[in-house]
Amino acid sequence: MATATAATTAETSAPPPAIRKQRRFTLPTVSLWAGIALISLYCLAPFYWMFVSSLKPSNAILNNELWPSSISFENYKSVFGEQNNFLYALRNSLIIASLATLLAMVVGVFAAYALARLQFRGKFLVLAAVLATAMFPGVAIVTPLFQLFSNLGWIDKYQSMIIPDISFTLPLAIWILTSFFAEMPWELEQAAKVDGCTPGKAFRLVILPLAAPGVFTTAILVFIYAWNEYLIASVMSQTQASAPVTVAIAKFTGDSQFQQPFGTQMAAGVVVTIPLVILVLLFQRRIVAGLTAGGVKG
């Protein structure tokens, strides 16, 4: 009897078995995942088609095949052939995009910090003017810029493309960084000043390290814009000495005068896109941190 009572007590005190949580596929969940799948397909389909076309031989480039029946790497060999000088164009793009990003970030960080920290009349008008300059169409200033740079002797020089890139990327950097700096806890800066730091030292040792995710994210966005810019570069670069990859790809030639090198251009597009993909994959954590850090104050 005692044994039965103990067994009954043990069964009563034993924890209930874990209830397996079943995943319910509700209509909002299914709609969410379907929307994500459609957006991903819409974004990745052009790159996939470009990659597939780069693997097709020249006689099958116009075939609408989802995967080539015979894979050929002749387009990639043509990209790096001597007639295209593609490596030289890659070097030009790297120099132009890197310098434009560096200069835009140096100016953008200080300008955004001043706009977020200082209180003065017309601050929002200044931000609106900065944003308006980013919306100004580039095609409207190509002719005046060409005339100005011709008078300065800058045509076919790096600075004729770096300066316009800065003028379009700097407003973007200021706008993003201003929102980021405005959400930062300024009590940390005040505490650093109480400990004896000057405003410049507090900015360098306290504010800037905390703002690193946002600065890094903005720098990547600026670099991508400068790397992909074509309109102004196509006008300012007259020879291969300063032509970036976007202009070099447009000037690829085929085997004959009337042949359009679609396969070679597709292969070059894949080669140009790979560095940006690798850059985003390597620093995706910093990018996500920079995009979400300003979302919560404190």
* Contact yes or no for 176/221 (Cβ under 8 A): yes
* Contact yes or no for 113/181 (Cβ under 8 A): yes
Would you call 46 helix, strand, or coil by DSSP? Answer: helix
CA-closest candidate to residue 107, choices 193, 199, 215, 209: 215
* Contact yes or no for 72/56 (Cβ under 8 A): yes
Please name the residue that has the structure tokens 């030289």: 88
Q: Which tokens in the block code for residue 249?
A: 């790809």
Q: Residue 179 class from Cβ within 10 Å (0-12 exposed, 13-18 middle, 19+ buried)?
A: middle
Spatial separation of the C-alpha atoms in residues 288 and 70, rounded to whole Å: 40
Please name the residue that has the structure tokens 């996939």: 48
Which superfamily does CATH assign the domain made up of 81-293 to?
MetI-like (1.10.3720.10)
Spatial separation of the C-alpha atoms in residues 218 and 134, rounded to whole Å: 15
Number of residues in the chain = 298
Strands in the chain per DSSP E = none
* Contact yes or no for 233/246 (Cβ under 8 A): yes
For the chain, what are the domain ranges? Answer: 31-72, 81-293
Degrees, nearest 5: CA angle 66-59-230? 75
The fraction of the chain above a pLDDT of 70, given in percent, is 85
* Average model confidence (pLDDT) across the chain: 81
CB atoms within 10 A of CB 80: 14
Q: Give pLDDT, residue 44.
A: 86
Task: Band the pLDDT of 164: cuts 50, 70, 90.
Answer: very high
DSSP state of 296: S
Q: Which tokens in the block code for residue 246?
A: 């976007």
- Note the pLDDT tens digit of each residue in 138-151: 888 899 999 999 99
Q: Give pLDDT, residue 77.
A: 85
Which distant-in-sequence residues (6+ apart) come within 8 Å of 244 by Cβ?
89, 92, 93, 96, 161, 229, 233, 237
User: Rounded to a whole number, what is the distance in angstroms from the first to the last CA of the chain?
Assistant: 64
Q: Average pLDDT for residues 271-282, to the nearest whole number?
A: 82
- Note the pLDDT tens digit of each residue in 24-39: 667 778 888 889 899 9
Q: Give pLDDT, residue 183.
A: 79
CA-closest candidate to residue 229, choices 174, 180, 166: 166
